[in-house]
Structure 1
Amino acid sequence: MSSKKRICIIGAGMAGLTALKNSLEHDLEAVAYERYTTVGGTWIYMERKEGEDEEDVHSSMYQGLRTNLPKEVMGFPDYDFDTNIPESFISSELVLEYLQNYAKHFNLTPHIKLEHEIIRVRPRSEGWEVIVHDLKSDKYFVEYFDFVLVCNGHFTTPMYPDTEGLENYQGKRLHSHLYRTPDVFKGQNVLVVGGGPSGVDIVHHIYQHAEHVYLSHHLESELRTDFMPNVTKKPDILRFTEEGAIFRDGSSASFSFVIFCTGYKYTFPFLSVDCGINVDVNWIHPLYKHCLNINKPTMAIIGLPHQISPAQLFDLQVRFALAFFTGRKELPSRADMLAEMEADMQERWANGVSKRVAHKMGVKQFDYYEDLAVTAGVKKLKPVVGKMMKSCSRRYIFELDTYRQSRYKVVDDENFIKIE
């Protein structure tokens, strides 16, 4: 029997892979369980099969997607994208290839159990009991671990708005989770609900196919759409009608299709109640620094914050958690962790943040990265990452038609150049 401490990693997408790599480097006996047939998580393209529910479709990836961040900040801090790729804003296929190469480079494959679904995680007097379903053999088994890193992602369970009259609407409806190709909207009037990156990108994808596209959003900045002549911006929806919707400015529109780009629910169906994690809309608590389970601090949830640099954040959160798991760093008292979380959330609520986006970072992300690194005594993100993030932030709003033509080049840990 190995004398090493054991760690269970749930998921082998972007977060799960860096969790596995870092756990092995911390001399832990690590196993990553992935319910799909390959690694990559949300970057894997998959169609909805007949009879499948929305949540059965693991990925939200659609054809033709290109990243809205340059690859120079999309990668992990210790493994770069192929420098022979000239573009900065790259296809989803290249991101998936990068993740698969990352797994090979760090020899992660022997530690990944594909087509294995986690059924239940529950605490023991010491450590964790994990019930696993081997999907290929249809057998169940139990494993025991000292630590758990939850890396199951959050682009699987669609969230819909609670809008008056939606049940009366007679047209077709779709969540962006299941959007795949633009040709199905040929000749149709379409309403896209949501002004986040996915909503704006889908409008950009379908406008040349659709007859007319209405985009309902409440962005504070004025979204530039003049290069898309058949796109009309609308405010939030007041109520749906049988043939369309009435908006909050009193205007109305008729459309035969509505695409909800309204986000996702955080779900952890495999966590038992006694894990001590509460899900209140999309506010997951109590968590120290938005990731460590205060009630059971041998568990961490990786990847809850959004409006961040994903791979960089995942890697940093994992290293933060491992510093405490391995005893290299001592945790504050439970009371102190709860008090800090409460102060953080009270500030968020006071600034109008809702539970639906409780873990949003945005401009706060750089302070968050610094806080994680300093608190755990781990290596900080390279300053050039923050500088590039600030350079390309929200360009999809103002330069949707051109911003992906820009190319970035990292000069050193501090500096980069942008080639228009």
Structure 2
Amino acid sequence: MTKIPNPRVCIIGAGLAGLISARYLQDEGISFTVLEGTQYVGGTWRYDPRVGTDEYGQPLQTSMYKNLRTNLPKPTMELRGFPLPEDAPSFMKRETVYKYIEDYVKHFDLEKRIKFLHKVILVSREENIWKVKHQNVATGEEFEDEYDYVFVATGHFNKPNYPDIAGEKLFTGTIIHSHDYRERDNFKDRRVLIVGAGPSGLDIAIDVAYVSKTLVHSHHSKAPLKTVFPEHYIKKPDIKEFNTTGVIFEDGSYEDIDDVIYCTGYQYYLPFLDISCGLEWDRQCVKPLHKYMVNIHQPTMLFLGAIVRACLVVALDAQARYAAVLVKGDFTLPSKENMLEEWNRKVETIRTNGRPLSDLHVIADAEDSYYAALTDESGIERVPPHMMKIHKLLLRTMFDNLYTFRDYVYTILDDENVKVSIENETENTRTV
């Protein structure tokens, strides 16, 4: 790919991925514009008590709920070059994180480069240029601008993924997705069914269990959970079918249910991408992407944050640094043939193992080697190994007890070592 002089970059979205990308492009002196469909920065981290649509009739993007605390500790949530407040706890409330994001925008003076209330409606490739059509959602006025690069930073936590379960239309209770879950008081003294045991499913199950009459939890997770739940918590397998008043499960058992909360994840949703972008996408995946981010057929389009099961802030920072130096021309991508060969090997491995194509976005145990690969290819500073040590220790404490894993404090000693201690118990510490 030939270096482009004085490149112009369009960043789609002013959530964390877009803001971090903007900061690094600014550091490199690269011209960019951020297009954001709402009035706010921070994407899903902004709490809004409303559900459905906003005052402009646009779908509310945030999935934040009232009592959320981070499930990753402070060192993995800190943005490079911008320390978190010293008095911030190890696992922060959503308000603390959002204030931190707002302070980040002010510190780096990013707001002047953001066009708020500008929703991207079409991205197309014409004569080696990107044409980006966007609409002011307040006035309806449409615009079209030209760019050399497009960063898609819209995330994948805004289009709910609903399961298709027999008899659902017969059910007379309420059904929502975790995207629309805001506060537990709505479920006081109710018989609530939570479906799914990913991070949101586990967190919301515990939150609702404080107030519900019964908490029924349907999932097939193989995670080695050792948590002792309250007596009114009932573990169930997958759902077989609904009837008017409740649910029949795959083991033949039945429970009366008032409310259902689907914690069943999100879809990839990129309706603004024209066929000329050279990508395929569906609810499961976006393809083909080099290093989880570069559009192999049109490598001046990059996806920030299209990943699953990683320390997201750490990953976004590494991806944004990689993207910025790519635009600057500090390194050259592998040939299209080599990128496709690597991609096809990954696809073949997933298919051979009988896994869904959604695994194309999963980093998980390969996280440290992923950061090493980004450094090897682009020359960016390496993400230190202690981040992965923190993540592994976190998973261990989380599986041991979902009620107490946020009591631990993680202190970085150097690039290799981390001290873990129980909050307010200095005698109970260990270094790893």
TM-score when scaled to structure 2? 0.92
The one-letter amino acid of 2:67's match is: G
Tell me how far 1:248 sits from its aligned partner: 2.0
Tell me how far 1:330 sits from its aligned partner: 1.6
Tell me how far 1:255 sits from its aligned partner: 0.5
The one-letter amino acid of 1:62's match is: Y
Q: Distance in 1 between matches of 2:98 and 2:61?
A: 15
Closer/same/farther in 2, CA of residues 281 and 141 from structure 1, 3 Å limit: closer
**Alignment equivalent of 2:370, drawn from 368, 371, 391:** 368
Q: Distance in 2 between matches of 1:83 and 1:100?
A: 17
Pairing of 1:2-401 with structure 2 (within 5 A): 4-48=6-50, 56-85=59-88, 87-393=89-395, 395-401=397-403
Q: Distance in 1 between matches of 2:407 and 2:294?
A: 39
Tell me how far 1:54 sits from its aligned partner: 11
The one-letter amino acid of 2:96's match is: L
Deviates more, 1:403-412 or 1:50-59: 50-59
CA contact (8 A) 1:278 1:284 kept: yes
Q: Distance in 1 between matches of 2:193 and 2:57?
A: 20
The one-letter amino acid of 2:245's match is: E
Deviates more, 1:116-125 or 1:355-364: 355-364
Q: 3-state SS of the aligned residue for 1:400?
A: coil
**How big is each residue's C-alpha offset from its partner over 1:293-321, in whole Å with a ceiling of 9 and x where there is no partner?**
01110000111111101111112112223
Tell me how far 1:50 sits from its aligned partner: 7.1
Q: Distance in 1 between matches of 2:267 and 2:256?
A: 29
Tell me how far 1:191 sits from its aligned partner: 0.7
Q: Distance in 1 between matches of 2:343 and 2:321?
A: 20
Tell me how far 1:375 sits from its aligned partner: 1.8
Tell me how far 1:225 sits from its aligned partner: 4.4
CA contact (8 A) 2:189 2:213 kept: yes
CA contact (8 A) 2:269 2:283 kept: no
The one-letter amino acid of 1:157's match is: K
CA contact (8 A) 2:322 2:378 kept: yes
Q: Distance in 2 between matches of 1:330 and 1:358?
A: 24
**How big is each residue's C-alpha offset from its partner over 1:21-65, in whole Å with a ceiling of 9 and x where there is no partner?**
111222210111111212111000113357769971110000010
Tell me how far 1:376 sits from its aligned partner: 1.8
**How big is each residue's C-alpha offset from its partner over 1:64-103, in whole Å with a ceiling of 9 and x where there is no partner?**
1000000111122332211122x10010111111111111
Deviates more, 1:161-170 or 1:40-49: 161-170
Number of aligned pairs?
417
CA contact (8 A) 1:191 1:257 kept: yes
CA contact (8 A) 2:148 2:300 kept: yes
Closer/same/farther in 2, CA of residues 55 and 238 from structure 1, 3 Å limit: farther
Q: 3-state SS of the aligned residue for 1:344?
A: helix
**How big is each residue's C-alpha offset from its partner over 1:343-363, in whole Å with a ceiling of 9 and x where there is no partner?**
012212333431344311211
The one-letter amino acid of 1:262's match is: T
Deviates more, 1:291-300 or 1:136-145: 136-145
Q: Distance in 2 between matches of 1:39 and 1:289?
A: 27
Q: 3-state SS of the aligned residue for 1:56?
A: coil
Deviates more, 1:400-409 or 1:255-264: 400-409
Percent identical residues:
35
Q: Distance in 2 between matches of 1:277 and 1:358?
A: 14
Closer/same/farther in 2, CA of residues 259 and 49 from structure 1, 3 Å limit: closer
The one-letter amino acid of 1:235's match is: P
CA RMSD of aligned residues (A): 1.9
Tell me how far 1:416 sits from its aligned partner: 2.2
The one-letter amino acid of 1:143's match is: D
CA contact (8 A) 1:118 1:132 kept: yes
Name the counterpart of 2:430. Answer: none
Closer/same/farther in 2, CA of residues 399 and 54 from structure 1, 3 Å limit: farther
CA contact (8 A) 1:66 1:91 kept: yes
Q: Distance in 2 between matches of 1:386 and 1:261?
A: 26
CA contact (8 A) 2:23 2:110 kept: yes
Q: Distance in 1 between matches of 2:52 and 2:202?
A: 28
**How big is each residue's C-alpha offset from its partner over 1:169-203, in whole Å with a ceiling of 9 and x where there is no partner?**
22210100000011111111111000011011111
Q: Distance in 2 between matches of 1:400 and 1:54?
A: 38
Closer/same/farther in 2, CA of residues 387 and 223 from structure 1, 3 Å limit: closer
Tell me how far 1:224 sits from its aligned partner: 3.6
Q: Distance in 2 between matches of 1:98 and 1:125?
A: 41
CA contact (8 A) 2:192 2:260 kept: yes
Q: 3-state SS of the aligned residue for 1:364?
A: helix
Deviates more, 1:362-371 or 1:261-270: 362-371
**How big is each residue's C-alpha offset from its partner over 1:140-159, in whole Å with a ceiling of 9 and x where there is no partner?**
21111110100011111100
Q: 3-state SS of the aligned residue for 2:155?
A: coil
Deviates more, 1:76-85 or 1:204-213: 76-85
TM-score when scaled to structure 1? 0.94
